[in-house]
Structure 1
Amino acid sequence: MKNGKIKLQAYILKKSKKLFDKNKVLFLKNNNQQVIVLFGLITLICIFFDFNLQNSNLTIPFIITTLVSSAITLIGIPQLKKIKVKQVIREEGPKNHFIKQGTPTMGGIFFIPIGIIISNILYFNTQDYKVVLTLSVLIIFFMFIGLIDDLLSLKKQFNTGLNSNQKIILQLIISLIFIIFCASNGYINNSIQIENRTFNIGNLIYPLGVFVLLAESNSANLTDGLDGLLSGCSVIIFAGLSITILIENSINNTGLSQLCIVMAGACMGFLFLNKYPAKLFMGDSGSLAIGASMGGIALISNNLWSLLIMGGILFAESISVIIQVTIFKISKKLQGKGYKFFLMTPLHHHFELKGNNEIRIVSSFWLVTLLLVISNLIFFIKD
């Protein structure tokens, strides 16, 4: 049975390589163009807002962080190969992913610290520094949770390191400490803003805050399943959050705005090496940190509603898993056989199994994210 499985995997790998070689030139050309266009678009948007909003300083931090992140990540790839830090592909996933087996992973340990270091340098000894530092600690701790998961996964030679309970407990502890600290220092208030309405929720901010951090970090983790998918969407969402914060209040919260644009640059630099075919995966050390940073920034800047809109792809990815599991369990209990609503979850795998190539899915998800960010910004500009 085991030999049969190995032969099947070898056959699938051979066919996948053939298909890749056949379409390699076309895929690479299209993908390179899309990544360059995304970088150019975000740069132009930063320039526009730097000229039109008071205290806006987005362009230079974005470009510098992109270059540094890309350079450090490029230098780090041979080191990961040397110590054999290679991705383990789950057997139950799409079979054409076996071609990715052996690609270096844990790229999050390169570009996440770059974002944190640059944002702290920019705002050291300013009035916003304590908030930036607090968020930096949150991001680092979530990166370490992901790193533990990645290392255990490599040790076991299995796609899962920490089990779901262990991961949730660690995330819960860090999230709770973060929310309590922020609430006691006045970084988070007891009200949330939805469109132009403000709702006072009192002590419910504690469970809501914890939920947001857990939901965002795990949604980002689920989204990280195709080359360039999460890194590209993150660039757009972070840039959108940065501009939203500036539009709301161009005098205060500039530290949060620049933290966002620096994180966008860190993800952009990584994207140049993570695009299809990826030279490096970010691993849980990257995805959990990205999700936690989005959630933390949205909580402190009171932009939960904006994050929900702009992060629609992340929401769709996680809700597809919830729908799949719920329907499967209910139908199995009622009919004795589980029914699958999607071909496979998270959602990007469903589209893969429908016959769409990876680049098309990723670029479509980027486009949807961009449209959601634009919709959110139009609302704020009108308001």
Structure 2
Amino acid sequence: MDAKLFPSRTLRLSGAVLFILLTVGLSLVSVFFDLAAGRFGQTLSLSLPFWVCALATAGLGFWVVPLLRSLKAGQIIREDGPQAHLKKAGTPTMGGIFFLPVAVVVSLLWSGFSPNVVAVSALTLAYGAIGWLDDWQIIRCKSNKGISPRTKLSLQIGFAALFCLWLWLTQPFSITSIALPFGWVVPLGVLFWLLAGFVLVSESNATNLTDGLDGLAAGTVAIALMGLGILIAPSHPDLMLFCAALSGSCLGFLAHNRNPARVFMGDTGSLALGGALAAVAILTNSLFALLIISGLFLVETLSVIAQVSYYKATKGPDGIGRRLFKMSPYHNHLELSGWSETRIVALFYLVGGLLAFLALALS
């Protein structure tokens, strides 16, 4: 896409306006579905845990963000990235350390420590710990290279295997197939566990790749979690509660992460959010719905794969290849094509909302 496709007189959205629009939108959606399902005012609803976590996270951020700044936990910006991002150097990162625990604690207490919520929370915190190691290494070494990709991938696969082992031991025959629209079911047998592990790792890395602009990952994941929560509400109210709580925490974090961001979530937050989405989808047999809801994250991942593959395939004698995009992931291509950060984020929010609606319609 090129910026020339959109006239310069198009409404310029600020980060604050985007945040307000997303807040109003998610709030109306949560209240509407609570009323439609007759759950409004009950303990297991979308809107109540959503707002409790949103307000708690936003309030906590006013204490944690200055603390991270005083600890000099500043982001190291890639020198080969968009030049406009260089001014963000030094912005505190590792924001996941305060918005993830809020959602986990609220959902655990509110659900009465439901086994499913305990398992999903454990996986979320485990992936958050991997991200924290990566962020800490970047800060400690003052380099944009954290732990090695092999180490990160090994840890992700290890925790994914533990989660699948727990699920197999506790619910060995409940989930061995994929539910598709119109009542179709694809039995996979033992292959389901390989697919589940792949989804956990790939979804985690996909949300990590999407976390490249102010408010982009926090807002799109909040939308995805709300859509997934609505989808699974009739059959898994405990995990619906978890989705609502984590969506609210993302919104509360966005109060500090909207453009211009005062804090970044870092790998601590982005890896954990993808793991949470995947874990909930696996437990509720909603993998096809997750594929649709996570369409934006998939596009971001495919853009990186396509960029690298095309570059390697077109290498000449000088060792230099051609590029499909100006830069990957795709949001960087849009930015280098003249789009402002807020316009890209607004587009992604809109598409994310449409994808969530599509997943609900197909279900």
TM-score tier (shorter): over 0.9
Whole-Å Cα distance in 2 between the matches of residues 264 and 170 of structure 1? 25
User: Are 2:139 and 1:145 aligned?
Assistant: no
* Residue number among 230, 242, 245 corresponding to 2:232 in the alignment: 245
Aligned-residue offset at 1:335: 8.6
Aligned 1:46-85 pairs, distance under 5 A: 46-55=30-39, 57-85=45-73
Aligned to 2:190, the other structure's residue is in SS state helix
Aligned 1:178-257 pairs, distance under 5 A: 178-186=163-171, 189-195=175-181, 196-246=183-233, 250=234, 252-257=235-240
Aligned 1:236-315 pairs, distance under 5 A: 236-246=223-233, 250=234, 252-315=235-298
Whole-Å Cα distance in 2 between the matches of residues 326 and 54 of structure 1? 50
Q: Could you list the runs of 4 or more consecutive aligned residues of structure 1 that deviate by over 2 angstroms after TM superposition? A: 333-337
Tell me the equivalent position of 2:151: 166
Whole-Å Cα distance in 2 between the matches of residues 208 and 285 of structure 1? 24
Aligned-residue offset at 1:336: 4.9
User: Are 2:106 and 1:118 aligned?
Assistant: yes
Aligned-residue offset at 1:347: 0.6
Aligned to 1:332, the other structure's residue is in SS state coil
Count of residue pairs brought into register by the alignment: 347
Tell me the equivalent position of 2:28: 44
Using the size of structure 1 for normalisation, the TM-score is 0.88
Whole-Å Cα distance in 2 between the matches of residues 59 and 336 of structure 1? 55
Whole-Å Cα distance in 1 between the matches of residues 18 and 325 of structure 2? 28
> Which protein has the bigger helix share?
1
Gaps of 5+ in 1: 1-25
Aligned-residue offset at 1:293: 0.1
Whole-Å Cα distance in 1 between the matches of residues 334 and 21 of structure 2? 24
Aligned-residue offset at 1:378: 2.1
Deviates more, 1:188-197 or 1:105-114: 188-197
Whole-Å Cα distance in 2 between the matches of residues 290 and 334 of structure 1? 42
Whole-Å Cα distance in 2 between the matches of residues 281 and 30 of structure 1? 18
Aligned to 1:202, the other structure's residue is in SS state coil
Identity of aligned residues (%): 37
* Residue number among 92, 96, 99 corresponding to 1:104 in the alignment: 92
Considering only aligned residues, what root-mean-square deviation do their CA atoms show, in Å? 1.5
Aligned-residue offset at 1:45: 1.1
Whole-Å Cα distance in 2 between the matches of residues 293 and 265 of structure 1? 14
Whole-Å Cα distance in 2 between the matches of residues 379 and 170 of structure 1? 35
User: Are 2:331 and 1:331 aligned?
Assistant: no
Whole-Å Cα distance in 2 between the matches of residues 141 and 70 of structure 1? 23
Aligned to 1:136, the other structure's residue is in SS state helix
Whole-Å Cα distance in 1 between the matches of residues 340 and 227 of structure 2? 27
Whole-Å Cα distance in 1 between the matches of residues 272 and 62 of structure 2? 20
Aligned to 1:192, the other structure's residue is in SS state strand
Aligned-residue offset at 1:334: 8.3
Tell me the equivalent position of 2:75: 87
Aligned-residue offset at 1:123: 0.8
Whole-Å Cα distance in 1 between the matches of residues 344 and 251 of structure 2? 18
AA aligned to 1:138 is L
Using the size of structure 2 for normalisation, the TM-score is 0.93
